[in-house]
Amino acid sequence: MENSIQVPTITIGQRKFNIFPLWVVFLLVGFLIGVEGMITVLRDGLSVTGLSNQVAWGLWIAIDLSAIALGGSAFVFGVIVYLLRIERFKRIGMLAVLLGFLGYSTAGMVLLFDLGQPFRFWHPIVYWQPHSLLWEITMCVVLYLSVLLAELLPIVLEHPLFHSHPILEKSKFLQLATDFLQKLSGWLHKAGPFLAVVGLTLSLLHQASLGATYGVLSGRGLWFSQSAPIIFVVSAVAGGTCLLFVTSIIVFRVMRPGLVQDKVLRELAQIAGYATLLCIYIRIWDWAVTNYYSFDLEVALQTELLNKVAPYATSFWIGQILFAVIPGIVLISAKRIKSIRVLALFALMPIVCTILTRWNYNLSGLIAQITYDPFTPTVILNNYSPTQTEWQVAIGVISYWLIAFSLAARFLPFKGEDHLHGPGHDAAAAD
Amino acid sequence: MSEKTNIPDQSQDNGKLSRRDFLLLSGTALGTAALRQVTKAPKSDRGASDNPEGKHRWGMIIDIDLCIGCNYCTYACQAVNNLTDEMRYNIVTTETTENGDEYFLSRPCMQCGSPPCVHVCPVEATYIRDDGIIAMDYDLCIGCRYCMIACPYDVRVFNWKDFSEDSPTVPLFGTPELPPRDRGVMEKCHFCSHRIDYGLERGLVPGVDAAATPACIVACPTGSRVFGDLNDPESPANRKLAVSDNPIRLRDELSTEPAVLYIPPRAKGG
């Protein structure tokens, strides 16, 4: 068919180069840099980070939150495809599942190194403390990752290697195995609506709880807010959908032309735009409420300081408001804008905005800390700058995300067809 | 008229719903309880003192006027718990009153009655003992540091580094009384609960007998810190409270109910 996968090339002089191998090697170098950092952390402990008793969560938690947020499209499109049964988004929904899985596995990976005792990562699953939001998040993330895996399996098994590769004809065992895998894939596909409901529940629970993780900390005036859970959910929908739009353009428009119509991509852009604008509405509302309630001495002290001290003031107005309002307006008018590349460029901005929101949320309450002086309470500013090892691990996990995404974009068909008895040797994909 | 006919219908509906709700709720509760039992893994020895049903509630009174900022409390604590120089369960800072007078604020763990750190711990590694002391189970702690972030008093300390030798405050301020902890777990002031347990087993009175009293109290050269059972009207802590004006608790507005009370500085110069 139809749609063979086209790999982006660059032309130097007369010759065309396939950039895919170079790109993967580049990412592997990034991943190795990360591995070196990960070994350092496991060997020397968290003393190699820039964290302190005052600023206990830093770059890695910001990455963890961002990765989970940017995987937010998986539950949104699970609902759109399986519950609302809007068929034209089926293939985009498959990509959303991939993004969800990558986001959550990245988060799990970076979180492992953020634990003081990484090899006790399984403790929350065995030693329950249901009052803790962090416990609930751990359980939800573990369960949701399993749901995502169940949703991802049929997408991976769609690869010709698992149903129509010539090598399968040489061994009976391989044939039996692939038959079973295809059956499994069929069952999982049938379970789609059920998985979508479970995924939606788990997602909403923990995306909101991630916000509530900060929202319940009454000792930290800046964080103690009821809007945090909503902001986390809505910004995950916005950022996640924008990322889905950008990646859809790469996977479908550039690499598989004709598989998803431009009209559908534009609709996706509109969904992303509306989600972005909704997020900004709630964000501004929250800003207004925080300032309104600044008659509370502690909150007033902290907001005053944070408004003064960059980068929070600037990053809020430029990074979180401007970077979302403009693309939001552009994306909702996607049908009127001819160039889909321009749309993609604008869709990058809310992604940055989502990451900035997580970074600021995580650090603001730690940087501005109230003292305990009962007579003249003040706010002190703590310092934090990530160390080289922290950046290394960050580069490593981001490289993992990109490698996995690139391999999937390069090799998986994303057609959503039943291959139990289907023919079709896709030579390009089988390579 | 229609309202009249509606009322019995509603109550009937309510009745049905509440029965169903009741069954649903009791089912859920039973299920949760059963699950809780299944998942409740045996935890390592939590070492609660000989203290059935909250007989004791250990507390500390710190008289700010008597504190001279010598930091002996901090050093004694470091020696007994064998802490590195940068790890401090007890922190002494210089603060100012509304009049601009400087004073020393010595800050151990407040051993809150409603502790934010215990509520947030995902594995129940930090817990409330029967005597109100907030203790740590170092074998359970995963080192996520959420408790440190939740603590409004900034008194939890993370074990960032491997540390095998003796604290620099040993032997001048005491000798180590507790086994070393693993790197990467959370630590905190525990009112020297090992001394309290040791003392109670031998009929000693914590707050009165030095061997059963937290190291910081014993080391304080001015008697600025007083320790005792807040449930016992005759304890040193309660006797100190009885003669003090307006004892205060830090960040009382958060309703954490600290067991550490401060006697505010009296105005200087009469």
CA distance B164 to B176: 12
In this complex, is the C-beta atom of A56 within 8 Å of any C-beta atom belonging to chain B? yes
Going by the DSSP 8-state scheme, the letter that residue A206 receives in this structure is H
Q: Would residue A425 count as lying in a domain? A: no
Chains A and B: how many Cβ contacts under 8 Å? 140
In this complex, is the C-beta atom of A364 within 8 Å of any C-beta atom belonging to chain B? no
**Cross-chain CB nearest to A117 (options B149, B160, B185):** B185
Residues B82 and B195 occupy one common structural domain = yes
- pLDDT at residue B268 in the model: 65
Q: Do B43 and A127 touch (CB under 8 A)?
A: yes
**Cross-chain CB nearest to A217 (options B121, B150, B248):** B150
Residue found by looking up tokens 């830093």 in the block: A58
Beta strands at B260-263 and B58-63: parallel, antiparallel or unpaired:
parallel
Residues B3 and B67 occupy one common structural domain = no
Residues B134 and B99 occupy one common structural domain = yes
Q: Would residue A155 count as lying in a domain? A: no
Residues B74 and B199 occupy one common structural domain = yes
pLDDT in tens, A153-204: 989 988 888 887 787 778 888 888 888 888 898 898 888 889 999 999 999 9
Residues B75 and B166 occupy one common structural domain = yes
We report the CATH number of the domain holding residue B200 as: 3.30.70.20
Q: Chain A: residue nearest B139 by CA?
A: A120
Q: Would residue B46 count as lying in a domain? A: no
Residue-number span of the structural domain to which A243 is assigned: 220-383
Region B67-79 average pLDDT: 96
Q: Do A114 and B144 touch (CB under 8 A)?
A: yes
Residues B19 and B118 occupy one common structural domain = no
Residues B27 and B59 occupy one common structural domain = no
Q: Would residue A111 count as lying in a domain? A: no
Residues B23 and B62 occupy one common structural domain = no
**Alpha carbon distances (Å) from A49 to A44, A54, A113, A214:** 10, 13, 11, 22
Q: Do B98 and A213 touch (CB under 8 A)?
A: no
Q: Would residue A149 count as lying in a domain? A: no
CB neighbourhood size of B204 (10 A): 17
Residues B35 and B60 occupy one common structural domain = no
In chain B, what residues touch A134 (CB-CB under 8 Å)? 120-122, 144, 146
| Stretch 234-253 of chain A: residues touching chain B, C-beta under 8 Å | none
In this complex, is the C-beta atom of A132 within 8 Å of any C-beta atom belonging to chain B? yes
Residues B112 and B176 occupy one common structural domain = yes
CA distance B110 to B254: 13
Residues B32 and B134 occupy one common structural domain = no
| Stretch 271-330 of chain A: residues touching chain B, C-beta under 8 Å | none
Q: Compute the residue count for chain B.
A: 270
CA distance A44 to A389: 11
pLDDT in tens, B167-178: 899 999 999 999
Q: Compute the residue count for chain A.
A: 431
Q: Would residue B82 count as lying in a domain? A: yes
Whether the Cβ atoms of residue B129 and residue B46 lie closer than 8 Å to each other: yes
Question: Which structure tokens are listed for B34?
Answer: 């059963």
Q: Report which listed range, A253-267, A391-405, B19-33, is most confident.
A: A391-405
Whether the Cβ atoms of residue B39 and residue B132 lie closer than 8 Å to each other: no
Q: Would residue A55 count as lying in a domain? A: no
What single-letter amino acid sits at B204?
Answer: L
Q: Would residue A133 count as lying in a domain? A: no
Whether the predicted pLDDT of A338 surpasses 70: yes
Region B21-35 average pLDDT: 63
- Residue A426 — pLDDT band, cuts 50, 70, 90? very low
Q: Do A219 and B251 touch (CB under 8 A)?
A: yes
Q: What mean pLDDT is reported for chain A?
A: 88
Region A17-46 average pLDDT: 94
Q: Give start and end residues of each alpha helix (H) in B135-270.
A: 146-150, 193-201, 215-219, 236-242
Overall domain count for chain B: 2
CA distance B73 to A108: 41
Burial A283-292 (b: 16+ CB within 10 A, else e): beebbeebee
Lowest mean pLDDT among A212-216, A265-269, B26-30: B26-30
Question: Which structure tokens are listed for A55?
Answer: 């600023």
Overall domain count for chain A: 1
Residues B130 and B153 occupy one common structural domain = yes
Whether the predicted pLDDT of A132 surpasses 90: yes
Residue-number span of the structural domain to which B109 is assigned: 53-263
